[in-house]
Amino acid sequence: MINRRNFLTTVALGTASAAFLSACGQSSSSSKTGSADNPVTITYTWWGNDDRAERTRKAIALFESKNPDIKVNGNFTDFAGYWQKRATEAAGGGLPDVMQWDLSYLRDYGQRNQLLDLGTVKINTDAFDKSLLPSGQIRGKTYGIPTSTNAFAVYYDPAKLKAMGIAEPDGTWNYKEFNSFLAEVGQKGNGTLFGGTDYTGVWWMFNIWLRQNNIQAFTDEGKLGFSKDDLKKWWNTTAQLRGTPALVGEDKTTQLLPKSPFGSNVTATEATWDNFMAGYLGDSGAKELKLVPVPSDDPDNLGLFLKPSMLMVASAKTKYKDAAARFIDFMVNDPEVGQIFKTSRGVPASKTQRDGTTFEGTDKLVVDYEKSIEKYLKDAPQPPIVGFGTLESSFKRVSSELNYGKLTIDAAADAWFKEAEDLIKQNA
Amino acid sequence: MTQTPTLSRRSQSSAPSQPRTSRRRGADARAGYTFLLPWLLGFIALTVGPMISSLYLSFTNYNLFDPPKWIGLDNYATLFQDERFLQSVGVTLSYVVFGTPLKLAAALAIAMLLNSKRKGQGFYRSAFYAPSLIGASVSIAIVWKAMFGDSGPVDEGLSFFGINLGGWVGNPSMTMPMMILLTVWQFGAPMVIFLAGLKQIPADLYEAASMDGAGPVRKFFNITWPMLSPVIFFNLLMETIHAFQIFASAYIISNGEGGPAGSTLFYTLYLYLRGFSDFRMGYASAMAWLLVIVVGIITLIFFKTSKSWVHYSGDSK
């Protein structure tokens, strides 16, 4: 009996420790380069909708066929969930090898040594506009390579306007004219079509308005450059329109998520980035969508700028630096990749890619739009402060409570300022 | 059911009367600990360790990347000036206070219906239990969101009866009823426990009561309720603790943001957002520990007050 018991003990102990050891020792073989027979696998993640997923899969397949020694495992989520996932992975030390990135979060991760210094690997940036590259750099190190540029614009659906007998806008308008345009659409839309979404809830529209009034959003010391009164004034711009058919109700907007009201054919206009064209066309099924500049009370200062719409970054902990660099280089420079994405990531940042891509139809509209505003373009804003992503999403949240009528404009401004000041203090 | 612990304790105490050598007892212990080892390792590595580190982090300013900075009780102090925190407490409390009793009432009612003998009993039992099997899953939250959305089946159904509420998902005053309905619908687990409890009640009690002319209401309050009270107590405790921890369905239905207008900003959701969206893990840890303390206190209150209404067989009343 005792022998059998000892035997069982040994077996149990052995099994337990084997399980324990195998759980600990799961780090994969550390071969840093692959071959066609034994390719290395890198992971790549991006945010976006089905349209972008389809294009990305094509680009990955093309990359793999040209680089048989590397396999790319891709996956995507929507924008909001994307950053929570990355934070979880970063805390656990397991960020994907290559990631699509946003300017809003570059400091959070770059400054905290989570991203690979791409200056240490081979990525060709000769074809890039030299004024664009600094947007991916922090303290002299390059953490992100811009894939493309985008600019803010007002979208509209010409077919819908025509059906209502409303003339197409030409984009030379001030806020008052823009508002009465929204009101007219809402009125003729008869409860089924609204003028637009409340543009004062979009941080970047506010930022553009600040620039139009020659106010800095953030000071060089990383503090807020505008006052509470500026913010109140901004939210007051649409005070008369909230709750009218000029602006789509917040309850509808919420229910349509993750699609936008414009993509769901609920509004006739939308103020947002010009590279959303492909996504909107796909979501709404519209034949044609057009772009005009945002309103400004100063016709000589539209406050517009080109922003890197997306960046490619790599994890600081990636085991496959070379493979990651080759994939990034391919995604930002290869003309065939440009041909796949067209303007859906924005207008390609690399000249090689831009020249290798034929822009037709709506893609041409986006390229033409960016050309048309060239004379108004000013320097891109400072790379946002640490924690900017949080500020941006709380801006959206507070504006939505404003639209629900849960907060007055004064209370909303107080709430946002309190959060912003707290956050800036936290990260100081 | 409630007598089993006492019985087993008695049988244990009689066991050592058998003669045994101490060497043998040592070998027994060693084998016991060996078998316990995998669980013990897991418990220490995955439960105790993280708990201790989260307790430490709750006194620090920790952003997931840089080393934590000790700030003492600052996190706990700021909590009570944080309007969103207070909102999340309000949302969670209203969910616990309204959701849990309704869920238990539904569970008990269905359990009583299913307790009687009739045709197709097995089918009904599985059918009523099924929602709680799949209920915690992400897919149900997605289905729920679609059902209660604008021109979803619920909206259409209600407008058929002339009630026009519009979509519930985007309406801040309707999201809480929706979340409560979702939890009530998942009454299967407490129902099964109630069913087991009901089976324990001797049938002759009811027979005797019938002979004395007691109606169904009287039988419920004088027999079922007191006989079942330990089970009710157990379910109430478990479901309350469970309700405090609601996360997945709230996360899905509100797109991970606690919206619309903060109406589904549940405690754990805000905790998660603080930790993983705002990189304030110290703050999130403080919230977690506060939740542990509050749930502990509520459990204690339940146990203290239970003496007045929970009756174990063998008690004088």
Q: Dump pLDDT digits (tens) for B173-214.
A: 888 999 999 889 888 889 999 999 999 899 899 999 999 988
Q: Between these two residues, A23 and A349, which has the higher pLDDT value?
A: A349
Confidence of residue A120 (pLDDT cuts 50, 70, 90): very high
Q: How far is A41 from chain B (nearest CA, A)?
A: 26
Per-residue pLDDT, B315:
55
Please give the mean pLDDT across all residues of chain A: 87
Residues in chain B: 317
Q: What percent of chain B has pLDDT over 70?
A: 91
Per-residue pLDDT, A142:
92
Query: Which chain A residue shows the shortest CA-CA distance from B23?
Result: A2
Residue A408 forms contact with B (CB below 8 Å)? no
Q: How far is A396 from chain B (nearest CA, A)?
A: 11
Contacts of B280 in chain A (CB under 8 A): 426
Whether the per-residue pLDDT at A119 is higher than 60: the answer is yes
Pairwise CB contact (< 8 Å): B277 & A404: no
Q: Which of A6, A84, A258 sits opposite B277 (nearest CB)?
A: A84
Cα of A417 vs its chain's centroid, Å = 24
Per-residue pLDDT, A20:
47
Confidence of residue B248 (pLDDT cuts 50, 70, 90): confident
Whether the per-residue pLDDT at A168 is higher than 90: the answer is yes
Name residues 66-105 of chain A within 8 A of B (Cβ). 80-81, 83-84, 87-88, 90-91
Contacts of A423 in chain B (CB under 8 A): 278
Confidence of residue A204 (pLDDT cuts 50, 70, 90): very high
Whether the per-residue pLDDT at B255 is higher than 60: the answer is yes
**DSSP sequence for B123-156:** HHHHHHHHHHHHHTSHHHHHHHHHHTSTTSHHHH
Q: What percent of chain A has pLDDT over 90?
A: 58
pTM, rounded to two decimals: 0.83
Q: How far is A106 from chain B (nearest CA, A)?
A: 14
Q: Dump pLDDT digits (tens) for A6-18.
A: 544 544 544 444 4
Cβ atoms A294, A273 nearer than 8 A: no
Query: Which chain B residue shows the shortest CA-CA distance from A405?
Result: B261
Pairwise CB contact (< 8 Å): A393 & B61: no
Query: Which chain A residue shows the shortest CA-CA distance from B62?
Result: A426
Whether the per-residue pLDDT at B317 is higher than 70: the answer is no
Amino acid symbol at A396: K
Average pLDDT of the residues in A86-91: 89
Residue A380 forms contact with B (CB below 8 Å)? no
Q: Between these two residues, A381 and A27, which has the higher pLDDT value?
A: A381
Find, among A389, A394, A387, A384, the residue nearest to A417 by Cα: A394
Question: Lowest mean pLDDT: which of A13-27, A86-100, A250-264, A399-413?
Answer: A13-27
Q: How far is A238 from chain B (nearest CA, A)?
A: 19
Q: Which of A9, A387, A401 sits opposite B30 (nearest CB)?
A: A9
Q: What percent of chain B has pLDDT over 90?
A: 49
Q: Dump pLDDT digits (tens) for A356-379.
A: 999 988 889 999 999 899 888 877
Per-residue pLDDT, B172:
87
Per-residue pLDDT, A23:
44
How many Å apart are CA B281 and CA B283, to the nearest integer? 5
Whether the per-residue pLDDT at B101 is higher than 80: the answer is yes
Structure tokens at B291: 């939740």
Pairwise CB contact (< 8 Å): A16 & B149: no
How many Å apart are CA B165 and CA B160, to the nearest integer? 11
Q: Which of B169, B262, B279 sits opposite A255 (nearest CB)?
A: B169
Residue A426 forms contact with B (CB below 8 Å)? yes
Q: Between these two residues, B255 and A230, which has the higher pLDDT value?
A: A230
**DSSP sequence for A115-128:** B--GGGS----TTB
Please give the mean pLDDT across all residues of chain B: 86
The ipTM, to two decimals, is 0.81
Whether the per-residue pLDDT at A50 is higher than 90: the answer is no
Q: How far is A100 from chain B (nearest CA, A)?
A: 18
Q: How far is B257 from chain A (nearest CA, A)?
A: 8
